[in-house]
């Protein structure tokens, strides 16, 4: 299976990265990691990419790491998945409000609503 | 997160304790609550209809209910409950976020819904919030939940964002 994992630099997105790397190590799925700029975090794209690369290196796997360009990462992720024949998009998300309500950010929401590809939300 | 609040603060809300007669002629006490009320609240949430959950709360299992209550009954939160005799029929809470604003939620047991208890709970909670110097309150509500949205609008909440799955509403008190 061809998996497109989007990582935007939130803690939940790093958790999704770790879980997906663990899983891919078992299944042998063909993973691509796409780093995107999530305006909800302060970290810059360069730092996010570096942290992702460290996690990937620790895993011993060698999935390609690419950047999602443009101002609408959700739309671009959907576009990449469709145009390049990915079987699944994986994203981390669903953080909690102070009261404990699960909340989806705008990028996750866009992908869930618009992708023609199955989407896995890791939360 | 920057949130749009109504320009004008709302009027003064009633303070707890108060006793109301609901539309089913039941006498309901609306009183402040804190961690001393944990057990009666656990009982209420164990009775809570899972179909009435919203955005993952309240949790379903007792252990998770206790963990969640532990957070929202903390000293810096504001809580009121609606009691019918010894039964906790409803609960409303204000929980601070990182911006000195407060998130609101209310829960009413199914057998007590549609009788005006939710409105009394929200108004009394906001009254208790005012007495504690809280001035910015927000909430999220699922966009299909018309009864809840009209309740919040009646109390004075205005929609601050409707771009997402949930509608966000805010009030200045």
Q: What ipTM does the predicted assembly reach?
A: 0.86
First-to-last C-alpha distance (Å) of chain B: 19
Mean pLDDT by 10 residues, chain A (123 residues): 96 96 97 92 88 96 94 95 97 94 91 96 94
* pLDDT over threshold 60, residue B1: no
Q: How many domains are contained in chain B?
A: 1
pLDDT at A39: 81
Record: contact A101-B68, CB cut-off 8 A: no
Tell me, yes or no, whether B173 lies in a domain: no
Whether domain A2-122 has CATH 3.40.30.10: the reply is no
Q: Residue B100 is part of which domain span?
A: 18-133
Helix, strand or coil, per DSSP, at residue A3: strand
pLDDT at B164: 79
Give the CA dihedral A25, A27, A32, A33, nearest 10 degrees: -50
pLDDT at B59: 95
Q: pTM for the complete prediction? A: 0.86
Q: Is the CA virtual torsion A55, A102, A87, A111 positive or negative?
A: negative
Tokens linked to A118? 């199955």
Q: What CATH number is attached to the domain comprising B50? A: 3.40.630.30
Instruction: Examine residue B58 and say whether the peptide bond preceding it is cis (omega within 30 degrees of 0).
Output: yes
Angle at Cα B7 formed by Cα B6 and Cα B11, nearest 5°?
75
Tell me, yes or no, whether B98 lies in a domain: yes
Q: Check residue A120 and give left, alpha or beta (phi > 0: left; psi -120 to 50: alpha).
A: beta
Measure the CA–CA gap between B104 and A99, rounded to whole angstroms.
Answer: 8
Q: Check residue B56 and give left, alpha or beta (phi > 0: left; psi -120 to 50: alpha).
A: left
Record: contact A98-B97, CB cut-off 8 A: yes
Angle at Cα B6 formed by Cα B3 and Cα B7, nearest 5°?
115
Tell me, yes or no, whether B129 lies in a domain: yes
Least confident span in A11-25, A41-55, B69-83, B101-115: A41-55
**Looking at CA atoms only, how far is residue A6 from chain B in angstroms?**
20
pLDDT at B40: 96
pLDDT at A1: 95
Cβ–Cβ < 8 Å for B129, B137: yes
Record: contact A98-B103, CB cut-off 8 A: yes
Higher pLDDT pick, B108 / B54? B108
Record: contact B96-A103, CB cut-off 8 A: no
Record: contact B103-A109, CB cut-off 8 A: no
Please check whether residue A69 touches B, CB under 8 A: no
Tell me, yes or no, whether B60 lies in a domain: yes
Helix, strand or coil, per DSSP, at residue A68: coil
Please check whether residue A104 touches B, CB under 8 A: yes
Record: contact A103-B95, CB cut-off 8 A: no
pLDDT at B155: 96
Measure the CA–CA gap between B92 and A17, rounded to whole angstroms.
Answer: 37
Cβ–Cβ < 8 Å for B164, A109: yes
Residue of B nearest to A105 (CA): B164
The mean pLDDT value of chain B amounts to 95
Interaxial angle between packed helices A73-83 and A106-114, expressed in degrees from 0 to 180 and rounded to the nearest 10: 30
* pLDDT over threshold 90, residue B161: no
Across-strand partners of B24?
A: none
CA B142 to chain centroid, in Å, comes to 15
Across-strand partners of B144?
A: none
Facing B57 at nearest CB: one of A99, A104, A109: A99
CB pairs below 8 Å between A and B: how many? Answer: 41
Cβ–Cβ < 8 Å for A48, A35: yes
Across-strand partners of A66?
A: A34
Tell me, yes or no, whether B146 lies in a domain: no
Tell me, yes or no, whether B72 lies in a domain: yes
Q: What is the DSSP string of B42-80?
A: HHHHHSS-GGG-BTTBS-SSHHHHHHHHHHHTSTTSEEE
Mean local confidence (pLDDT), B16-22: 97
Tell me, yes or no, whether B45 lies in a domain: yes
Q: With beta carbons under 8 A apart, name residues in chain A contacting B97.
A: 97-98
Q: Where are the domains of chain A?
A: 2-122
Mean local confidence (pLDDT), B76-105: 96
The residues of B whose Cβ lies within 8 A of any Cβ of A are 54-57, 59, 68, 71-72, 93, 95-98, 103-105, 140, 163-166
Tell me, yes or no, whether B107 lies in a domain: yes
Please check whether residue A103 touches B, CB under 8 A: yes
């Amino acid at each position: 299976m061809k998996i497109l994992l989007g990582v935007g630099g939130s803690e939940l997105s790093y958790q999704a990265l770790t879980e997906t790397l663990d899983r891919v190590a078992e299944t042998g799925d063909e993973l691509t990691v796409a780093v995107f700029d999530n305006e909800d975090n302060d970290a810059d794209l360069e730092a996010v990419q570096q942290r992702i690369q460290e996690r990937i290196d620790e895993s011993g796997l060698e999935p390609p790491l690419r950047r999602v360009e443009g101002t609408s990462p959700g739309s671009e992720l959907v576009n990449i998945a469709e145009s390049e024949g990915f079987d699944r998009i994986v994203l981390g998300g669903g953080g909690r409000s102070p009261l404990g309500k699960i909340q989806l950010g705008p990028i996750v929401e866009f992908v869930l609503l618009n992708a023609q590809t199955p989407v896995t939300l890791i939360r | 997160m920057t949130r749009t609040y109504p320009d004008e603060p709302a009027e003064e809300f009633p303070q707890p304790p108060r006793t109301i007669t609901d539309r089913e002629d039941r006498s309901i006490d609306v009183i402040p609550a804190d961690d001393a009320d944990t057990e009666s609240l656990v009982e209420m949430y164990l009775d809570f209809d899972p179909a009435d959950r919203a955005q993952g709360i309240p949790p379903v299992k007792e252990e998770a209910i206790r963990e969640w209550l532990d957070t929202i009954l903390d000293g810096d939160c504001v809580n009121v409950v609606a009691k019918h005799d010894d039964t906790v029929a409803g609960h409303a809470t204000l929980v601070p976020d990182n911006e000195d604003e407060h998130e609101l939620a209310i829960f009413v047991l199914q057998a007590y819904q549609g009788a005006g208890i939710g409105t009394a709970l929200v108004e009394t909670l906001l009254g208790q919030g005012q007495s504690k110097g809280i001035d910015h309150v927000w909430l999220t509500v699922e966009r299909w939940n018309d009864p809840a949205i009209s309740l919040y609008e009646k109390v004075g909440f205005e929609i601050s964002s409707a771009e997402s799955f949930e509608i966000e509403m805010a009030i200045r008190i």
